[in-house]
A and B are shown apart, each in its own frame.
Chain A
Amino acid sequence: MTYLPKPKLHHPGLPKNALGLTHRDYEGAISTLCAGCGHDSISAAIIQACFELDIEPHRIAKLSGIGCSSKTPTYFLGTAHGFNSVHGRMPSVLTGANLANRDLIYLGVSGDGDSASIGLGQFAHCIRRGVDMVYIVENNGVYGLTKGQFSATADKGTKSKKGVVNPDSPIDLVALALLLGATYVGRGFSGDKAQLVPLIKGALRHKGAAFLDVISPCVTFNNHKGSTKSFDFVREHNDAVNRLDVILPQKPITADYEPGEVVEVPQHDGTILRLLKLDADYDPTDRVAAMDYLFEHRARGEIVTGLLYVEPHSTDLHDELGTVATPLNRLAEAELCPGSAALSKINAAHR
């Protein structure tokens, strides 16, 4: 936590993106989280991803619930749209906003308490409906704002800072998301931006429900020996299945790899997700195999990270509902209420 605002001066040689913006233009207010909080690294990764994708900040709507994680949208993309909703209710608000204006990019930011406890139902339904969004859970396994009680994602047997052992089974949000039909599922680590930034970029370009579980050590309450969400533990048990490169449609593809080393997954907008395999047998387009792999490796005490599943030609809620291409909030009264003649016609169809 810092009292001073970040000075406005910046490095004179800072790169600019296609919009002429530097990454500093994607910042928000100064963070009030604890010094060293993993969440701040995730904010920095979101800033970097939006900068690299040349996204105009006002094209993004950031939504959150309650908790340390849910405070973070204030700390990035200061000129984006934002809504800080009720505890666990971010998914409903996001769904509603998305239905009203399908033109914006929706970024839901939540935590393990917000999504795995009070908002678990909301989380599930939002994912299974295929709302076009990026849903990031900043997962530290504890309730930081209330001084470090275990959250629902804390592993069984994990020790609290005071030495209490967690007796409950954890909720694995990645496994849930796979089960519920998310079309882009990944897991990252706040301490590895080289992996996290491309995962966020891919999610931003993906159509449909993109879910990212980002392990984010709580330096104040959950970064000790006996925790499975500490910097040291995650680094020692990290099993990254692949390395993602997000290639935008207009960018030429240059790097060459041996056959079999790389999987390329095209997205609806022409973006190509190129995955360098770190595990030769891992197929990120096979949902069932992904779940098998996840369970096997979790049983061995490993934390599987990377882009775990992606559906090449995914669809979203609007496709399913057959809504018009124009955002509903831009339709005039005449289009939204076509009049009694149209109503009679609809009623007649039901007779």
Chain B
Amino acid sequence: MSEIGELRVADRNHQAAVTGMPPTDIEDPRYFHKVVDCQWACPAHTPVPEYIRLIAAGRYADAYMVNWWSNVFPGILGRTCDRPCEPACRRARVEREPVAICRLKRVAADYKDDIRDRLPRPAAVKNGFRVALVGAGPASLTVARDLLPLGYHCVLFDQDRRAGGMIRTQIPRFRLPEEVIDEEVGYILGLEPELRLGERVESLKALLDQGFDAVFVGTGAPKGRDLDVPGRREAAAHVHIGIEWLASVSFGHVKRIAERVVVLGGGNTAMDCCRTARRLGGKEVTVAVRSAFAEMKASPWEIEDALAEDIPILDHLVPLEFLHENGKLTGVRFRKVRTERDALGRRSLVPTGEPDLVIPCDVVLVAIGQEPAFPWIERDIGVAFDRHGLPVVDPLTFRSTHPKVFFGGDAAFGPKNVITAVAHGHEAAISIDLVLRGRDPRDRPPPSTRLTSQKMGLHEWAYDNEVSLEARRRVPHLPRSRALASLEAEVELGFDPEQAWHEAERCLNCDVQTVFTRSLCIECDACVDICPMDCITFTVNGPEAELRGRLKAPARNLDQPLYVSAPLPTGRVMVKDEDVCLHCGLCAERCPTGAWDMQKFLLETARAGCR
């Protein structure tokens, strides 16, 4: 108590602590952007709360277009995204589970009307520049989408006959129906790129010699890692590389699998392999992972879906040998290990000393990683590679050491995910446009931001500020018997409009910012008293670490900023901990002078062609 008392004495004497935090610069777009945790976490910085509000209003097509401009593949990502936004969601910090952002995105795609007349048209006038896009996956398609309307002549190369890349070949149909791919890839093909599908680029040098002004390499990470242990060669006919096997399934070359299958690996590809195997005749499908179950790379929801299809996941198993008889695989022998950590927290797998485990099986799918491969890029044409075999790429511009060659997606920095590939595509398109217009590609165009007051009346806001107390909804699934009976039957059914509305209402509208105007504040404490989360404190300033400890509720989440005002007439400052703010607007409703206002912050990242 005496601490507060002493502060009051300091107030009385109007002694503003000069060593305290500087006032927050809300003009810097990064400040409010970071408050929108989901948008900040999204590689493409999709304005999530903006489209969730549109979904709640039943404006699915509008919500779809917000997504389409930002992440290009809303229907695909609404089913398959790695959703970095969800772990970042503020809802998880104030309630329990994040908003089902990803599946709401799918709702926009599922229920939208025909949006074709909202799409950009093929450029009426070409600008004369020719850009080659190698690999027709999400990164290249994004570059094409951004550059085609500006008049660039884009040429799409892919070894497969249909555009889509890994979206089409590696993601099973029961997670992503073909027609969704066709629709969204189709929107880009509608911009009329030149298609050179079924044409594998064998030489970058030869490509550059064709006079392209720029080349974008979006060839992904097509090489699946193999497992070189005894028996691999002898049992080769029954051991498949996961992504290659998935592609064969996708193209219809593989239609059956033996009854007993072991899948090696703990990533999302392993999950896709085991679930696909279950649908192709696999009766006893087992996943074996080297690390601990808790450290598996696969997304939790994909693990959950695999477990729900009666697929055991055994952890702490290191494969030692493929067992075989007369060229026929009979099983895999594993060493049992446990995880140990040294003083620095580094992980090592130590044998437990138990006898080895043999899992009998007929087929093994190896899904232990994948990497980019560039056998077609000559090493003497100016494109430098690092010692891991990855190209040397500027992470800001995505330009390689060759001035005309750009990389993006998994090809640039190794395997990530679709949304990251899209983000790379946008940035590379900006760079290509800048370079070809004679500008410095390192001079990046700023995002566009808008800050708009949401006040409509004394107690009326342009957004729904009531905080829903509903728990996260589960997406309905197809009954298991029907799901396992077909490779094409989509397992997740998606939210219906009513479920979607309930889920959308859980969004806290973190983009509706609490904006504080110091000159209007009379220090009446009304905001402090009403704030349901105890976010606001009026106190003497101090160094951040010390200040965080003496707020109305301690601000222990160091990832979340403090919003600090310049000194007020009593010498104190307003400090707001952004961490668990519900954006309910009660501070602004309670403020007698309008010192608090709720203002919607809409940030859109720059796109190629912005001037």
Contact = CB atoms under 8 A, between A and B. Distances in A.
Interface of A: 1-4, 6-15, 24, 34-38, 40-41, 43-44, 52, 190-195, 198, 217, 219-220, 223, 231-232, 235, 238, 240, 243, 245, 255, 276, 278
A94 B442 CA distance: 75
A6 B524 contact: no
* Residue among A35, A220, A231, A235 with max Cβ neighbours from chain B (10 Å): A35
A190 B569 CA distance: 16
In the A-B complex, the 8 residue pairs with the smallest Cβ-Cβ separation, listed nearest first, are: A36-B592, A44-B529, A7-B467, A194-B8, A11-B553, A219-B592, A36-B526, A36-B524
Contacts of B7: 194
Interface of chain A: mostly helix, strand, loop or mixed: loop
Interface in B1-26: 1-2, 4-5, 7-9, 12
Contact of B532 (A6, A35, A195): A6
Nearest to B555: A13
Contact of B526 (A12, A24, A41, A278): A41
A276 B524 CA distance: 25
B524 A231 contact: yes
B523 A9 contact: no
B486 interface: no
Contact of B522 (A4, A231, A245): A231
Interface in B592-608: 592-593
A9 B8 contact: no
Interface of chain B: mostly helix, strand, loop or mixed: loop
A7 B524 CA distance: 22
B273 to A, nearest CB: 39
Given A9-B469, A36-B592, A219-B592, A4 B553 contact: no
Interface of B: 1-2, 4-5, 7-9, 12, 93-95, 458-459, 465-467, 469, 522-526, 528-530, 532-535, 553-554, 556, 569-570, 580, 582, 584, 586, 589-593
A166 B2 CA distance: 40
A44 B556 contact: no
Contacts of B524: 36, 38, 41, 190-191, 217, 219, 231
Given A36-B591, A40-B529, A192 B8 contact: yes
15 contacts: A4-B459, A4-B465, A9-B94, A11-B553, A12-B93, A12-B94, A13-B554, A35-B526, A36-B522, A36-B526, A192-B8, A194-B8, A198-B1, A198-B5, A219-B592
A24 B530 CA distance: 11
B529 A235 contact: no
Contacts of A36: 522, 524, 526, 590-593
B523 A191 contact: yes
Contacts of A3: 459
B5 A6 contact: no
Nearest to B556: A13
A11 B525 CA distance: 18
Nearest to B553: A11
Contact of A223 (B467, B522, B589): B522
B533 A44 contact: no
Contact of A11 (B534, B584, B586, B589): B534
A198 B2 CA distance: 10
Nearest to B570: A235
Given A35-B526, A36-B591, 8 more contacts: A2-B586, A4-B466, A7-B532, A40-B526, A41-B525, A191-B524, A193-B525, A194-B7
Contacts of A41: 524-526, 529
Contacts of A34: 592
B591 A35 contact: yes
A142 B170 CA distance: 74
Given A9-B467, A35-B526, A2 B590 contact: yes
Contacts of A14: 534, 553
A75 to B, nearest CB: 10
Contacts of B1: 52, 198, 245
A243 B580 CA distance: 33
A2 B8 contact: no
Nearest to B467: A7
Contact of B584 (A7, A191, A220, A243): A7
A10 B532 contact: yes
A245 B109 CA distance: 61
A210 B525 CA distance: 25
A3 B465 CA distance: 11
* Residue among A12, A34, A43, A238 with max Cβ neighbours from chain B (10 Å): A12
A40 B530 CA distance: 9
Given A2-B459, A12-B94, A219-B592, A37 B4 contact: no
